[in-house]
Amino acid sequence: MSVYVAVAPGDIERLSPLLAIFFQQVVNVTCRTLPEDDPTVKHHVLMLLDEFPTIGAMPHLAKAFAFVAGYWLRIALVLQDPPQLDGVYGRDMAKTILDNCGVEVVFGTKNQDLTESLSKRVGDNTTTAVTEQRPRFWASFQWSRQSESEHPHRRPLMLPQEIARLSDSQQIVIRRGVGPIRARKIRWFEDAVFSGLRRAAPAVEPITVGLAMDDGTPPGAGGTRTRRIDDDRLEPTLSLIPGGR
């Protein structure tokens, strides 16, 4: 089962408190009991948060990164640039969030600071340079004056400009405890296995809520403080849509 939470871009700031409560409840309910202590828990949960920094600060969720894995809850963040988190959570909390991510998938970027940082994080490789020395004239007749020497040199596995030039079909995977991986993306619509899993979106009736609007009358001033809404079918701004596979 999948649950999709969709918010219109213009309503994100206004609905940020509601989103914070929703995700806080997800963490609280999921992390009540350890799976090994509750035999009824049989499924892992993946929480995929696209454009995570734009949702706004959610301190409860940010602190949960350190322990949710033990409760079979995994969180995948999608963001354009790591410094985006600094402006929302501060440098220290943003660093804590990223440090608790076990796997990092990086696509091509043109940000110079980011490419240089990634180049350093990917690490270096040792290459061997061969130096030849020989006479300028009549070298073929002066073998004793010819020599070759090898010198080890350090070279980044990927230079910043090489990271910036990654094609749309390539990615870098950085995982704790293993070396960096340069891999090809899996495009689900080009892969027979994944494209075969595609299903039509289920038809879900929108959730409509009728609201009594405050007319601004102060308490105790007399009169009515509510007005009727003629349109009973209000278009929901926050959509909670259960989906299929």
Which DSSP string corresponds to 159-199? -HHHHHT--TTEEEEEETTS--EEEE---TTT-HHHHTT--
User: Average of pLDDT values for 33-58?
Assistant: 88
For residue 130, give its domain range: 107-168
Beta carbons of 49 and 55 less than 8 angstroms apart: yes
Which residues lie across from 175 on neighbouring strands?
A: 103
- Give the number of domains in the chain: 1
Residue 20 within any structural domain of the chain: no
Q: Is residue 60 part of a domain?
A: no
Structure tokens that stand for 151 in this block = 């010198």
Block residue for tokens 């940020």: 16
For residue 121, being part of any structural domain is answered with yes
pTM of the model: 0.67
Decide if 132 is inside a domain.
Answer: yes
Task: For residue 153, name the pLDDT band (cuts at 50, 70, 90).
Answer: confident
- pLDDT at position 244 over 60: no
Residue 42: predicted pLDDT: 87
Asked if residue 147 is part of any domain, the answer here is: yes
**Does residue 16 fall inside a structural domain?**
no
At 142, the pLDDT band (50, 70, 90 cuts) reads: low
Average pLDDT of 176-201? 88
CA atoms within 13 A on the CB side of 199: 9
Confirm whether 4 is domain-assigned: no
118: number of CA atoms within 13 Å, CB side?
Answer: 29
Q: H or E stretch including 16?
A: helix 12-30
The neighbour count for residue 110, using CB atoms within 10 Å, is 9
**Residue 185 counted as domain residue:** no
